[in-house]
C-alpha cells in the first residue's frame, strides 16, 4: 500500500491530499465512533473521556499500521468471516454492558477493557477504510500520518456526541447495536469464500445482513433478561 515514506513537502497537492484523507476517514469512521461510544458508556463518568481519547488514538494508530497490509488481507479467505463474527460478538457484548450498571471493577481496568474492545473492533472493521485512506495518501507516509492524526479530534467529538445522545435516549443503543450487527453481517457476506460460493445478489445480501441485525438485538435482549434474573436471584438469596 505504501511504497515509501515519501518526502515532507507541503504544497497544494499535499494539502489537497491531506484534506481528502481527513474527509475519507471521517466518512468511514462512523462505525468506529459507534463502537467507542458504546464501549465507554458503561464506564464511570470520570473515566469516560480517558476511554474515548485512548480508544480514538488506538484506532488511528492501527489505521497507520494496517495500511501496509490491507490490500493483501482483503483477499484472505475466511478473514472477513472471522472479523464479522468478532464484530457481532462485540455488538452483543456492548449492547448488554451499555444497559447494565456494574461497578465491580476498578476504573483503570474498565478503561483498559473498553480500549481493548475498541481495538479489536477497529482491527476487524478497518480493512476497507485503510484501503481508501492509503490510496489517497499516494504512498506518502507523512501525508497518511498527518491526515489520520488530524482526524482524532473529530472522532473524539463524534464519540462524545453519540455518548451524550445514548445517555439521553437509550433507544440509540438499540440502533447502534443494529449498525454493528449490520457491519458484521456485511463482512461475512463479502468474504471471498461466501462471495465465490453463493454469488449473492443485493437482495440476498440485504436479507442476510438484516438477519444478523435481528440476531444481535434478540441475543442482547435475552442476555440482559437472563442477567437481570440472575441478579434478582442473588438479591433474594442474600435477603434470606
- How many domains is the chain built from? 1
- Partnered with residue 140 across adjacent β-strands are 4
Tell me, yes or no, whether 176 lies in a domain: yes
- Whole domain around residue 131: which residue ranges? 12-239
How far is 25 from 19, CA to CA, in rounded Å?
10
Tell me, yes or no, whether 77 lies in a domain: yes
Tell me, yes or no, whether 6 lies in a domain: no
Most confident of 23-37, 44-58, 140-154: 44-58
CB atoms within 10 A of CB 201: 9
Look-up: residue for cell 471521517?
26
Quote the pLDDT of residue 3: 46
Q: Is the pLDDT of residue 6 over 80?
A: no
Q: Which helix (H) or strand (E) holds 232?
A: helix 202-239
Most confident of 134-148, 170-184, 203-217: 203-217
Tell me, yes or no, whether 3 lies in a domain: no
- Per residue in 123-154, pLDDT tens? 777 666 666 666 676 667 777 777 777 777 88
Tell me, yes or no, whether 1 lies in a domain: no
Name every residue whose Cβ is closer than 8 Å to that of residue 197 and which is 6 or more positions away in sequence: none
Q: What is the mean pLDDT of residues 55-59?
A: 83
Full-model pTM: 0.74
Quote the pLDDT of residue 5: 46
Quote the pLDDT of residue 113: 85
3-state DSSP helix/strand/coil % of the chain, to nearest 5 = 80, 0, 15
- Per residue in 62-71, pLDDT tens? 877 777 776 5
Tell me, yes or no, whether 2 lies in a domain: no
Tell me, yes or no, whether 82 lies in a domain: yes
Tell me, yes or no, whether 209 lies in a domain: yes
Amino acid at each position: 500500500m505504501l511504497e515509501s515514506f515519501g518526502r515532507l513537502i507541503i504544497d497544494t497537492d499535499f494539502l489537497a491530499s491531506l484534506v481528502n484523507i481527513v474527509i475519507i476517514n471521517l466518512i468511514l469512521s462512523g462505525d468506529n465512533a459507534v463502537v467507542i461510544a458504546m464501549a465507554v458508556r458503561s464506564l464511570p463518568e470520570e473515566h469516560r473521556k480517558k476511554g474515548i481519547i485512548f480508544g480514538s488514538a488506538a484506532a488511528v494508530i492501527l489505521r497507520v499500521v494496517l495500511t501496509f497490509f490491507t490490500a493483501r488481507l482483503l483477499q484472505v479467505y475466511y478473514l472477513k468471516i472471522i472479523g464479522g463474527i468478532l464484530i457481532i460478538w462485540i455488538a452483543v457484548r456492548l449492547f448488554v454492558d451499555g444497559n447494565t450498571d456494574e461497578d465491580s471493577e476498578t476504573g483503570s481496568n474498565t478503561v483498559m477493557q473498553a480500549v481493548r474492545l475498541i481495538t479489536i473492533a477497529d482491527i476487524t472493521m478497518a480493512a476497507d477504510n485503510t484501503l481508501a485512506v492509503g490510496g489517497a495518501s499516494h504512498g506518502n507516509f507523512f501525508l497518511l500520518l498527518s491526515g489520520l492524526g488530524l482526524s482524532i479530534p473529530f472522532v473524539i467529538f463524534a464519540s462524545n456526541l453519540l455518548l451524550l445522545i445514548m445517555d439521553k435516549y437509550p433507544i440509540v443503543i438499540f440502533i447502534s447495536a443494529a449498525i454493528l450487527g449490520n457491519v458484521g453481517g456485511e463482512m461475512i457476506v463479502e468474504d471471498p469464500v461466501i462471495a465465490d460460493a453463493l454469488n449473492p445478489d443485493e437482495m440476498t445480501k440485504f436479507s442476510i445482513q438484516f438477519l444478523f441485525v435481528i440476531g444481535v438485538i434478540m441475543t442482547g435482549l435475552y442476555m440482559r433478561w437472563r442477567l437481570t434474573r440472575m441478579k434478582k436471584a442473588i438479591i433474594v438469596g442474600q435477603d434470606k
